[in-house]
Structures are given as structure tokens and as C-alpha cells.
Structure 1
Amino acid sequence: MRIPAFIRYWTASATGSLGTALSTVAIQVLVVEVLVATPAEVGVVNAARVLPYALFGVFAGVLIDRVRRKPLLVWSNAAQAVVLLAIPTLWLTDMLSLLMVAGVLFVVGALSVLEVAARQSFIPRLVPRSALLSANARIDQGDTVALTSGPALGGGLVALVGAPLTVLVDAVTCVLGAVMNARVRVDEPALPRRPSAPSDVVRDIADGVAFVYRHRTVAPHAVSTHVWFAGNAVAVTAFAPFALREMGLGAVAYGILLAFTGVGGLIGSLLAVRAGRRLGAGGAMVLGVVVAPVAWGATALSPPTMLGVIALGAAQLVAGFGMGVENANSLGYRQAVTPDEMQGRMNATIRSVNRTCAVVGALTGGLVAQLLGLRSALWVAVALFVVATAVVLCSPLRSARHHAGTD
């Protein structure tokens, strides 16, 4: 936090996370309550935002390793603001539909492909590699404060002005993020001109994929993360209709419930550096993933009573804690062991497959919820979280340590 460029970057990240937290509540309420979507339709809408990662993600990685990363951050933020304006505009003109919402989320997701890959690949240019764990922990802390306050604030805004207009606030935060990223002062190295024929692009993609899945510790980390994203997509798809319909929560109560995830995430991110230094990167990742099946199993068992609502809050707290501990350690570790010229492709490859798994998970979660019920979908998520934990426990990753070299 003594590095001015990092402070501006951190501010943009936290601001964007607040907007995302607001619009997450708004869009879920919009889809479930206003547009009266079925669980399967909720799955389709959730999949629309992450589908671009499956389609364009690896190409984004090649681009990020060929151009300066700061301009991509600025323009992707600004473009997302413009696209998000379509939801309140369509609503005000009485043209909003599930298909329109899915279309807007798809375009926002396509822009996020560039933004997120550039953002994660940009951090090693702002701080020394020895500070990557701390830098990612600080980012997580800002993000989780936003995640804590955002859902509750989002639920209140939805109750006050309606879900479509609440999305406007997310658009504003995208603009603020673009401004802050534009003010980041960093000397990005001049990049040599590289051939751009289709065969060269394919070769670059292949190099990135080979690096990820041949690395003795990055490979199991990637596979565990892929399975986790599938499980989380199943869980999130089932959770909104489960909380709003089966548990009978309103928009405000639902927002407060999601805020518990942020509280847990903040606690986890505050302890992430200590956990990483004491347990090692691998041990901290194990701690982060092992709590997920516990939290979502408790969710699946919660009865539609006040006691059940309290159990949901506790489960979200535990789930958030796991994500807070694991995220900074996994990001800091894989950034440290990856050469700078491979950062974009490494991040894009992992995130692309993650989001592809999330698309499959969202569609599967919606289908299982539609055919077998919401609780059955939650149990499918629990099973996937168990597999994600087992991958880490049965690999060399469990004993990985944080350092600045390659593993």
C-alpha cells in the first residue's frame, strides 16, 4: 500500500467489486422475481455471462501477452459501463426480457474476459514478486468489503428503486474504475513485434496451455479450480431461487444473506498472508477449498424456518472465509511461478476453462433443480467441491510454498 500505482489499481478493483456486488443482487432479483424465470432459465442467464470465457478466453491471453495491459483495463471498464446501461433503458421502454438480459450479460462477460485477464497479469508489473501474496490479499480485502456491503446495499436499492435501475450504479462504478486505472503510472516494457498469422496465434495458445497443464503444481491447482467453479456455478444457480422462494426471503433479506459471504471473505483475506506463510501456499489452498462442501452441505440441510435462515447465514460466512483464504494464496503463487511473458496466457487459460466449467455448472444446476429440486442441485455442488478438495490433497500442490522463483 506504499506504492501509489498499486493504490490506484486497488481503488479501481474495490470500486468495481462494489458495483458487481450491487448488480449481482439486482440481476438475480430481476430474473427470479420480475421476469419470473424458472430454475432452468436462471441457469441459462447465469451461463450467459461466463460463456465468453469459453469462446474467447485463450485468445484474450494471447492478446494480453502482445500488448500493454493498462489500456485494456481502461477501455474494457468503460465499455462495460456503456453496455450495462442497456438493462435500465430496455426496462424503461418496456422491452426487457430474459433473452435481452442474457444478451447484455454475454457482452459484459466478453469485455470482462479482457479486463480480468489483463488485471491479474498487470499486478506483477506493479509490485515485486516477493509482495504478490500481500498484494493479492489487499485486493481481496477491498473486494470482500465491497462484497460485504454491496449485497445489503443492493437489496436496499432494489427495494427502493427496483432491480433494473440498481444496475445503473454498477455502470457508474465501471466508469470510476476506468478513471482510476487511467491514472495508474507504470512503465510497461516495450513489447517486440510478434507474428500474428493464425498459426502463430495457435502456437501461442498451445504454449500457454502446455505451461499450465505440464507444471507440477500449477496443473493440479488449475484442475481443482476448474472443478470448484463447476460446483460453485451449480450452487449459485440453485441458491437464488432456493433462498427467495423455498426459504421465503425478500430482496433486502437476500442481500443481507449474501453479505455474510463478504464478511467471511474479509476474515479469510485478513488471515490469508498469515495462513500462506505458516501453512504454505498449498496448505492455505487446502484450508480454503475444504470448507466449501461443509458450507454448502449445511445450506442443503437448512429448513425453511428462522433457524434455517440463520444456518444459511453461517454457511455463507464459512464459504466466504474459504474463498478469502484460498484466493490470495492461489493467485499469488501462480503469478510468482509464471514468467512475465506467459502471465496473460496462464491467467487466461485457467480462467477460460474455469468459466467453461461454470457454464456447464450453471446449465447443469438449473436442469437438476428443475427436474429433481433445488436441494438436489445443492448436493451435486457439494459432491463437486469434495472432488476439488481431493485433487489438491492428492497432488504436490499441497506442500507448495510461496517464493519468487519457479517451482
Structure 2
Amino acid sequence: MRPPVGRAVVHPAFRRFWWATSISEAGTYFTTLAVQVLIVVQLGGSAADVGLVNGARWLPYLLFGVVAGVLVDRMRRRPVLITADFVRAGLLLAVPLLAWTGSLPILVLAGLMALLGLASLAGDAAAQALVPRLVPVDDLTRAHASLDRAAAVAQAGGPALAGMLIGLIGAARTVLVDAASYLVSGVLLLFTRVAEPVPERAARQGMWTEIREGLRWVYRHRTLGPFAIATHGWFLFSALAGVVLVPFAVDTVGLSPLLLGIALALAGVGAFVGSSAAAWLGERLGTGRLVIAAQAGTGIAWGVVALTPVSGWAGVVAGAGQFLLGVAMGASNANEMAYRQSVTPDRLQGRMNATMRSVNRAMIVIAAPLGGLLADAIGYRPGLFLAAGGMLLTALLLLLSPFRAARVGE
């Protein structure tokens, strides 16, 4: 018998993990904004420099993603995550120190962000693979929903708080908030007890053999395979929409920065609402049907944004689209994570999570520049409609696949 849908996840180890993850998640929003302000205001950089530094942050996911998955599967996951947290804290601490001494050119900052991305790759792979060791299968959806709610709160309030702090103490010092958040996260995890067996060395088959095993598991699985491919497509179109949104809102529609910020914050509010109902919806609709409906919902949401008029109602329409986007993503993510972790053996968790995450990030890197060029060619509003149509197409492909009958733990 499944436990009641609304029951809270009460496992002590997960509670500590939740606090550690939530604190570090909130800190990330401070660095995301502060680094971009630092590049433009203090270092005199251009939009291309912002793109260079942002790209460096994700480059390790493309180069080393599947390798990280193998390494995580060969180790106990909690020590990997603790090490990654402390390394990230040290790298972020270097940003204000170098800025204070005048030794922080753009390329050095990009190098620091690449190293931060490498540590985050290891930490993310370990964190995702650790959750199934903290809670039983029947609690996976609720566990991920609670993590999503914390992330939604950070998304709704983090950028505004970061902006206020940047105005008070400067962009470089604001990065210290994120450094402190990783330090606190690492300390909390040090005192988290998790039963983790040490993987047997005799089970190792060689790096490339284990990489192929992980890839085969993801892409040849009857339901996980179609889901993975559709998710990669969704990330492609989502990246296109993300590139077009700001120039569309500012140049085409004429939204002020304040109204745009409010609209984006509503996505965080919607994500909180969606994640709060995620477990309940997953139980009643089934994981496959809910995820398909949510992917279609994201397409509809971007369609609403594309319909934003050049009038006094612009902020309302854009905000409604962003709110709907947040609801759909919040309801879906916990069910997606719980499903893919529930069907994957423990020994393959690191490879499965790292493979999917790395290819998803590859879609962002590919779509971001190409999407910008395409939108410049066909227009911002048609670009958003194209992204919306692509998301509806991924939902249709999933509907026609065996994934439509998928359920967590089955």
C-alpha cells in the first residue's frame, strides 16, 4: 500500500539534506546575478564577456558529464557532495579576494567559473544519486517536491535580495553569500548519517565500458528512453524561449525592468504551487500522463507569453504565462526525478543522472546561440511561438510512446 499523498517526508537524514540543498540553492541566485553585474560594471565587460563566463560555467557538463557519472557510481555519494560543497565555497571566496587585489580579468573569472562548474557537476551527480538512499521509493516524489518548493522560494525571492545586496556592498562581495551557503551545506552534510556501502572494486569494468552501460540503460529502456529523448528536445526549445524572452519583453512589448522582474518572479510562485501539488497529481493521474500534460502546459505557457500585447495589459499577460510555466514545471519535476530514480538500479544512479543532465545542458549550449540567430532572422514573437510549438511536439511524442503509462516504482 502506498503512503498517504500528503504525508510529509520525515526521514532525519533527508531533512538535513533538504536544509543543505535549500541553503546552497538560495545562495546560487546571488552568484548568478552578482557575477554578471561584476563583469559589466566593475570589469567593463560586454555582453559577449557575459556569454563567455556563463558558457564556461556549463562547459564541464559537456566535456565530463558521463565520466562524472561513472566516478560517482564508484564512490560513496555523501563524501563526494561534501567535497564539492567545500571546493565551491573556496572558489567563490576567491572572486572577491581577487577583485579586491585587482587581479580578476575576464579570463580568470571564466576559469574560476569553469572550475566551479566542474565541482558542481560532481556535486549535482552525487546529490541526485544520493536521494534514493535517503528515502524509500514510495517517498521519492514527496522528497523531490519538497526540494522543488524550496527552490521555488529561492527563485521567487533570490534575485531581488541579490540585487539589493549588490547595491549595498557591491557585486564581488555579494558572491560571499553563495560561498557561505556552500560552507554551511557541507557542514550540515558532515553530520548527516547515511548508510552507504562502499562499491566493490571487483565490479568495475573499465571507464568506457561503464559509460556505455549507462548510456544503454538510459536510451534503450522501454519508458526511460523515450522520456530522456523528449526531455532533451524540451530543453532545446526551452533554451530558445529563454534567449528570446528578455529582448521580446523589452524591445517588442516595451515592459519596464520592474514589470519584467515581477513577471519572472511569478514563475517562482507558480513553481511553488505546482510542486505543492506534485505528489497528489502524480498519484491520481499517473507519472506518465502528468509529465506529458505538464510538458504540454509549458508549451501553452510560452504561447501565452508570445501573445503578450503592446498595451497596458502586457505585464498581466506575460506574468500569467510565466505563472503557468512555473506551475507546469513545478508539478512535473518531482515526478520526473522520482520516476527515473525509481526505475534505475542503485549502481547506475550516478550514470543515469549525469547522462541526462549533461545532454540537457548540451541542448542549452547548442540552442542558446542558434536560437538567438534564428529569432533575429524571423522575429522575437515568431521565435517564442516556435519554442512553444516545439514543447507541444515533445509532449505529443511522449503521448505516443510507452511512457504515457509510466508510474513511480513500477
Q: Structure 2-normalised TM-score?
A: 0.88
Tell me if structure 2 keeps the 8 A contact 1:22–1:166: yes
Q: Is the 8 A contact 1:45 1:102 kept in 2?
A: yes
1:22 aligns with 2:30: yes
Match of 2:323 among 299, 317, 322: 317
Q: For residues 45 and 395 of structure 1, do their structure 2 counterparts lie closer, same or farther at Cα, with a shift above 3 Å needed?
A: farther
Relative to structure 1, is the Cα distance of residues 207 and 227 closer, same or farther in structure 2, using a 3 angstrom cutoff?
A: same
1:349 aligns with 2:358: no
Q: Deviations over 1:265-299 (max 9, x none)?
A: 11010010011000100011012211212222333
Shift of residue 373, structure 1, vs aligned partner: 5.3
Which residue does the alignment assign to 1:386? 392
Q: Summarize the Cα distance change of 1:248–1:163 in structure 2 as closer, same or farther, 3 Å threshold.
A: farther
Deviations 1:146-205 (A, max 9, x none): 222212222322343344333221221111111112121111012211476xx7110000
* Equivalence for 2:190: 182
Q: Is the 8 A contact 2:237 2:390 kept in 1?
A: yes
Which structure 2 residue ranges, 5 or more long, are not aligned? Answer: 1-8
Whether the aligned pair in 2 keeps the contact of 1:288 and 1:322 (CA below 8 Å) is yes
Specify the code of the residue in structure 1 equivalent to 2:79.
Answer: P
Q: Does 1:231 find its partner at 2:227?
A: no
Structure 2 counterpart of 1:297: 303
Residue from 34, 37, 46 that aligns with 1:37: 46
**CA gap 1:143/1:343 in 2 versus in 1, 3 angstroms:** same
Task: Determine the C-alpha separation between the residues in 1 that align with 2:312 and 2:37.
Answer: 21
Contact 1:26 1:163 in 2 (8 A): yes
Q: CA deviation at 1:372?
A: 5.4
Aligned-residue Cα RMSD (Å) equals: 2.6
User: Matched residues in 2 for 1:28 and 1:306: separation?
Assistant: 30
Aligned-partner residue type, residue 55 of structure 2: A
292, 304, 308: which one aligns with 1:286:
292
2:274 corresponds to 1:268: yes
Is the Cα–Cα contact under 8 Å of residues 148 and 272 in structure 2 kept in the other structure? yes
Counterparts of 2:98 and 2:39, CA distance in 1:
14
CA distance, structure 2, for counterparts of residue 36 and residue 253 of structure 1: 26
Shift of 1:64: 0.8
CA distance in 2, matches of 1:380, 1:97: 38
Aligned to 2:406: 400
Judged with a 3 Å threshold, the aligned counterparts in structure 2 of structure 1 residues 84 and 233 are, in CA distance, closer, same or farther, namely farther
Which amino acid letter does the alignment assign opposite residue 281 of structure 1?
T
Which of 119, 127, 131 is 1:119 aligned to?
127
1:191 aligns with 2:199: yes
Question: Is 2:251 the partner of 1:277?
Answer: no
Shift in CA distance, 169/244, structure 1 to aligned 2, threshold 3 Å: farther
- Which secondary structure does the structure 2 equivalent of 1:85 belong to? helix
When structure 1 is superposed on structure 2, of 238-247 and 8-17 the one drifting more is 238-247
State the alpha-carbon separation in 2 of the partners of residues 373 and 33 from structure 1. Answer: 30
Conserved 8 A contact 1:287-1:325: no
8 Å contact kept, 1:297–1:379: yes
**Aligned partners of 1:9 and 1:181 also within 8 Å:** yes
Cα deviations by residue, 1:211-261 (Å, 9 ceiling, x for unpaired)? 1101111011111111122222222233345556664544x6655443212
TM-score (norm 1): 0.89
- Structure 1 unaligned segments of length 5 or more: list them: none
Give, in angstroms, the shift of residue 398 of structure 1.
Answer: 1.4
What is the DSSP-based 3-state SS (H/G/I as helix, E as strand, rest coil) of the residue aligned with 2:180?
helix
Identity %: 43
Q: How many residues of Structure 1 are paired with residues of Structure 2 in the alignment? A: 400
